[in-house]
């Protein structure tokens, strides 16, 4: 999923062990590591406490409208229809 939200280009460093695990999981899924990482990140959203995430957010107010935590939805490549993250 790619949205119209603009990011500042920050890319976090990932440990060698995390890359090792990601690579093998991507091989298992028969897909690129980037797609695998994207899906892993998006698939944890429903299990997170949206209110806590929102209260700690450092994003700008206009980004809230497109945020899956605020909207209660997230779309993945595997499932392009939004899934509820909170009730």
Q: What is the pLDDT of residue 54?
A: 87
Q: What is the pLDDT of residue 60?
A: 78
Helix (H) or strand (E) holding 74: strand 73-74
Q: What is the pTM of this model?
A: 0.62
Q: Residue 41 and residue 14: Cα distance in Å, rounded? A: 14
Could you tell me which residue, 64 or 5, shows the higher pLDDT? 64
The upper half-sphere exposure of residue 9, i.e. CA atoms within 13 Å in the direction of its Cβ, equals: 0
> Domain spans of the chain?
16-84
Q: What is the pLDDT of residue 50?
A: 85
Nearest to 71, CA basis, from 61, 85, 53, 57: 85
Mean pLDDT, the chain, rounded, equals 78
Tens digit of each residue's pLDDT (9 = 90 or more) over 11-50: 788 899 999 999 999 999 999 999 999 999 888 888 888 8
């Amino acid at each position: 999923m790619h949205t119209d939200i603009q990011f500042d280009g920050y890319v976090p460093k990932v440990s060698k062990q995390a890359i090792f695990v990601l690579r093998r999981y991507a091989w298992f899924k028969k897909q690129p590591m980037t797609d695998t990482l994207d899906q892993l990140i998006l698939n944890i959203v429903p299990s997170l406490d949206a209110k806590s995430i929102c209260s700690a957010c450092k994003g700008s107010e206009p980004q809230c409208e497109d945020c899956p935590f605020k909207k209660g939805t997230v779309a993945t490549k595997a499932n392009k229809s939004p899934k509820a993250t909170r009730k």
